[in-house]
Amino acid sequence: MSSSDDDTPLVKAKTGAVSQDRIPKALDKAMDKQAPSNGHVEPGISIRMGPVDKMDVDEPATNGNTNGKRKARVSTTNGKTYKDASNSEDDDKPLSKRRRTSQQAKPPKDDSSSELSDVPLKARTLPKASAEQIGQSSDSDTPLTTKLLRKKESIEKAADKEAKAIRGKEKATAKRKSKIASDSDDDIPLAKKKAPVKKGKQVKKEESDSDAPLAKKPAAKKAKAKPVVTTPAKKGKGKVKAEQTEEDRLAEEEEEEYRWWEDAGKSDGTKKWDTLEHAGVVFPPEYEPMPKHVKFIYDGVPVTLHPEAEEIASFYGSMLNSAHNVENPTFNKNFFEDFTTVLDKTGHAKDKDGKTVKIKTFEKCDFKPIFEWFESERAKKKALPAAEKKALKAEKETEEAAFMHCMWDGRKQKVGNFRVEPPSLFRGRGEHPKTGRVKKRVTPEQITINIGEKAKVPEPPAGHRWKEIKHDHEGTWLAMWQENINGAYKYVMLAANSDIKGQSDFKKFEKARELKKHIDHIRKDYRKELKSEKMVDRQRATAIYLIDQFALRAGNEKGEDEADTVGCCSLKFQHVTLKPPNTVIFDFLGKDSIRFYDEVEVDQQVFKNLKIFKKEPKTTGDDIFDRLTTSALNKHLTNYMAGLTAKVFRTYNASYTMARLLKEMKAKGTIQEKVKAYNDANREVAILCNHKRTVAAGHAGSMEKMIEKINGLRYQVWRTKMMMIDVDTKVKKKKGAEYFERPEDLDTEWMKQHQEAEVEELRQKITKKFEKDNEKLAAENEKEMKPKELQERLEKATELADKYKKENKTGKVEAEGKGPTVDKLETAVEKLNQRIENMKIQMEDKEGNKEVALGTSKINYIDPRLTVVFSKKFDVPIEKFFSKTLREKFDWAIKSVDEDWEF
């Protein structure tokens, strides 16, 4: 049967080449052979990967490793229990659970050197090895971590739901009604929704459509609130409503808070404001030449530069300590080129006799004195008394106060980045061809101001004028300029906690929630289209599959003069390695030149397709999706839902994953434990989105320290056990000799070293304390202690050393503490073991977290309402999850949901 999966009629290709629109049957078949669809995967290792295409069920392999689990699955997409309709059993399989063979698998190359801080850098350079080589080398250590307990989960989930259903039968029905009323068909089984009723109509008028949730939802809520007072489900909302009126009154008296998320109508999505007043931008301070004695050195000779050139030299000099830039040849080359241009213009340098020195070679430049001067300045600033620092800060604040806020439709709103970017050296990431170039000072003449017609236009600095004054009501920016290196547009916009940003955030998440209603349909479609005989469709379906399953970015085309990074649509031949039967290895640099490495199992058909897309004559450097662009992809996606683009999948899958994880969580334990559990879920999402950070410089060191500490504790455990024998020789028999054995890895050599280290540590501590005490005495004008006193105090350390020495000699440990008994010692051992366990957990946590950044997903991908609900339900203060700024940013979420809310 496996050869019949291509049941669609095939149009004969004209030339038979892959690049034709149609996929020749022969090729498709050939691919079948190369990638045997019935290739066996050991069920023990394999997590079920790609969702099974119904059309492929005749292929044993794909089903083989999912075995019985699938049958029992109940779709939980909407948080409601119902039998999954039709053939999309796996559509809702939570992302993070599926298909990552190596969720946290480190690429083989990284493994060797986790202690080196430059590893990430290395990892970020494009691998030179061929794709095949990578495949092979990683063969050996396909790390299979994180296997999530799918079975258990679905059982728990079902039980959970049942319980819930019983608890709130009434509630549920009320909710159901209200939900329907409020235009959310969350509860309707997939089967019923899948008909693309809206399809055609929605296509073009996305503007108004995508706004629908924003506009309609709150309105619906409000309308509901009145009549529903009696139903339990509505109580919450009724209350909110009541509070609101009160608050409104209060608000009017003070600041007046605008609860836009409760405001119906408002904003058709294009017009963003009616009136807009603001103070413009703050320019960076003019360059202040360094004191005369600070010289740039050329070829060993201290020379003087024209201030303009000196400023540029100072950019470079001040960053001598960040090897990241200064050791990058491109950075140096670009810098020197731009530096030379300015030097040519300003007459190069003068030596102390006023003779011109021409600067020709970068290697002969010495920026050290400049660097040192900057360092000393920095130190000076740091050493400033706290009071002075504060005063300085306050002064700056008052100076900038006017720029901090604007008036947006008459409401005071915080402005985000009102400071114009100061000149500097461009720090492009990864292998950016322009990194190191001089980013010039921005003049008022380059800046366009966007402001209300009736508002007072901010004064440009004396003797200057703005480039242009606009009154663009459809823009949310206050000022704009273009930077000189890439021609990038820079905008001054409102801060994240402003209404306007909040609104678009809200919209974003509502859009993702809407995708929930269409996702099954979409998944079904792309699975079907994976087999389309049209190359374009097949590529598109495959791409959507990757975006959906692995949270890849869209992957727009990039220019020549940018770093060479990719996303889904721009994946190149060498970024994807195929390992039969159905394992795919992704290895490429994504946004910010962050490496994406993942070894996953995919749907058999996807594997086959990728093989076709990589078919000769394609080779390194060629596009895998050569018939696909992001705009074609997005255009296709809009057919399903207005405003649906590739990016929405990331939001959806991230939030959906978080929602699932939080829902599965048990409300038990201390607050700390709950927070930890939340962070673990957060981490899973971060891993899904490949949000990374560079490993902290001291990571390996602090790791080692922890290990030593743990070993120290283990040693103490052993010693305590030995003390038991000292107290009562009989325990040795009772507990067995094994109990008293010192762990093997803590061999005699280690022990001696450890003892010495302990003694030394104690000695240091005593000495330090002594010195400090003395200082104190000196400060109080009293007599300092004699060195003899120190000697006496150090006796303790010697005693310890002696004790250890004796222990080593006799092989016995004298019991410590008063009235030691076996019982007491046993509790002591227990306590020590507990501490060891805690530390181990802490350590693992740290290690697992060392290159995962949680912030990005929390700020951009996880619907904040999920966190708010979690906080309320589990009774953990929201402060534990959101910092002050985040609480402000997510104000709308905090104030708008009760604990019944679901993503």
CA distance 281 to 278: 9
- Subset of residues 462 to 521 that bind DNA, contact rule: CB under 7 A: 472, 474-477, 480, 482-483, 486-491, 493, 501, 504-505, 508
Residue 749 CA neighbour count, 13 Å, CB half: 1
DSSP for residue 450: E
- Subset of residues 272 to 311 that bind DNA, contact rule: CB under 7 A: 272
Residue closer to DNA, measured from CB, 368 or 558 = 558
With contacts defined by CB under 7 A, name the span among 151-159, 291-299, 341-349, 686-694 that binds DNA. 686-694
- Subset of residues 32 to 51 that bind DNA, contact rule: CB under 7 A: none
- Subset of residues 822 to 861 that bind DNA, contact rule: CB under 7 A: 846, 853, 855-857, 860-861
* Residue type at 477 in one-letter notation: W
Cβ within 8 Å of residue 455, ≥6 positions away: 275, 276, 277, 278, 407
Give the DSSP H/E element, type plus range, for residue 64. Answer: helix 60-64
Residue closer to DNA, measured from CB, 434 or 615 = 434
487: left (phi over 0), alpha (psi -120 to 50) or beta: left
Residue closer to DNA, measured from CB, 171 or 676 = 676
Query: Known catalytic residue: 861?
Result: yes
- Subset of residues 687 to 716 that bind DNA, contact rule: CB under 7 A: 689-694, 696, 698, 701-702
With contacts defined by CB under 7 A, name the span among 8-16, 299-307, 647-655, 866-874 that binds DNA. 647-655
| Relative orientation angle of helices 646-664 and 864-873, to the nearest 10 degrees | 10
In the numeric block, which tokens belong to residue 892? Answer: 């709308």
Q: Does 25 bind DNA (CB under 7 A)?
A: no
| Minimum distance, C-beta of residue 558 to DNA, in the bound complex (Å) | 6
| Residue closest to 869 by CA, chosen among 849, 896, 844 | 896
| Minimum distance, C-beta of residue 231 to DNA, in the bound complex (Å) | 35
Residue closer to DNA, measured from CB, 559 or 819 = 559
| Minimum distance, C-beta of residue 865 to DNA, in the bound complex (Å) | 15
Q: Does 563 bind DNA (CB under 7 A)?
A: yes
- Subset of residues 106 to 125 that bind DNA, contact rule: CB under 7 A: 120
Binds DNA by CB under 7 A, chosen from 634, 639, 711, 716: 634
| Minimum distance, C-beta of residue 28 to DNA, in the bound complex (Å) | 25
Q: What is the DSSP string of 470-519?
A: E--TT---SEEEE-TTT--EEEE-B-TTSHHHHHHHHHHHHHHHHHHHHH
* Residue 86 φ then ψ, to 5°: 50, -140
| Minimum distance, C-beta of residue 893 to DNA, in the bound complex (Å) | 14
Residue closer to DNA, measured from CB, 70 or 427 = 427
With contacts defined by CB under 7 A, name the span among 186-194, 254-262, 623-631, 805-813 that binds DNA. 623-631
Cβ within 8 Å of residue 487, ≥6 positions away: none
CA distance 498 to 278: 14
With contacts defined by CB under 7 A, name the span among 67-75, 157-165, 215-223, 560-568 that binds DNA. 560-568
Residue closer to DNA, measured from CB, 645 or 711 = 645
CA distance 661 to 655: 10
| Residue closest to 414 by CA, chosen among 430, 425, 399, 402 | 402
| Minimum distance, C-beta of residue 428 to DNA, in the bound complex (Å) | 4
Place of tokens 């891993």: 687
With contacts defined by CB under 7 A, name the span among 186-194, 225-233, 245-253, 553-561 that binds DNA. 553-561
| Minimum distance, C-beta of residue 553 to DNA, in the bound complex (Å) | 3
CA distance 716 to 722: 10
479-482/448-450 β-pairing? antiparallel
Q: What is the DSSP string of 200-247?
A: HHHTT-HHHHHHHHHHHHHHHHHHHHTTTTTSHHHHHHHHHHHHHHHH
Q: Does 105 bind DNA (CB under 7 A)?
A: no
Binds DNA by CB under 7 A, chosen from 76, 565, 605, 653: 565
- Subset of residues 743 to 782 that bind DNA, contact rule: CB under 7 A: 765
SS3 583: strand
- Subset of residues 323 to 342 that bind DNA, contact rule: CB under 7 A: 324
- Subset of residues 650 to 669 that bind DNA, contact rule: CB under 7 A: 650-651
Binds DNA by CB under 7 A, chosen from 201, 355, 558, 806: 558
CA distance 81 to 77: 9
* Residue 479 φ then ψ, to 5°: -155, 155
Give the DSSP H/E element, type plus range, for residue 654. Answer: helix 646-664
Residue closer to DNA, measured from CB, 13 or 479 = 479
Residue closer to DNA, measured from CB, 142 or 679 = 679
Q: Would you call the peptide bond into 189 cis, given omega within 30 degrees of 0 as the criterion?
A: no
- Subset of residues 200 to 219 that bind DNA, contact rule: CB under 7 A: 207
| Minimum distance, C-beta of residue 888 to DNA, in the bound complex (Å) | 8
| Residue closest to 836 by CA, chosen among 720, 724, 707, 704 | 707
| Minimum distance, C-beta of residue 709 to DNA, in the bound complex (Å) | 8
CA dihedral 256, 262, 268, 272 (to 10 degrees): 30
SS3 543: helix
Residues that bind DNA (rule: CB under 7 A) add up to a total of 87
CA atoms 877, 878, 880, 884: torsion sign: negative
* Site map (CB under 7 A) of DNA, residues 375-394, x = contact: ------------------x-
With contacts defined by CB under 7 A, name the span among 164-172, 561-569, 712-720, 797-805 that binds DNA. 561-569
| Minimum distance, C-beta of residue 19 to DNA, in the bound complex (Å) | 14
Q: Does 554 bind DNA (CB under 7 A)?
A: yes
Q: Are 5 and 605 spatial neighbours (Cβ–Cβ below 8 Å)?
A: yes
Binds DNA by CB under 7 A, chosen from 555, 571, 655, 660: 555
Query: Where does 226-302 have alpha helices with state H?
Result: 232-253
With contacts defined by CB under 7 A, name the span among 86-94, 157-165, 576-584, 683-691 that binds DNA. 683-691
Residue closer to DNA, measured from CB, 301 or 496 = 496
| Minimum distance, C-beta of residue 617 to DNA, in the bound complex (Å) | 20
Residue closer to DNA, measured from CB, 78 or 630 = 630
Residue closer to DNA, measured from CB, 583 or 630 = 630
- Subset of residues 422 to 451 that bind DNA, contact rule: CB under 7 A: 422, 424, 426-430, 432, 439
Q: Are 91 and 520 spatial neighbours (Cβ–Cβ below 8 Å)?
A: yes
DSSP for residue 572: B
With contacts defined by CB under 7 A, name the span among 105-113, 138-146, 299-307, 877-885 that binds DNA. 877-885
| Residue closest to 581 by CA, chosen among 142, 136, 33, 145 | 33
Binds DNA by CB under 7 A, chosen from 574, 630, 653, 655: 630
Residue closer to DNA, measured from CB, 497 or 583 = 497
| Minimum distance, C-beta of residue 690 to DNA, in the bound complex (Å) | 7
Known catalytic residues are 861
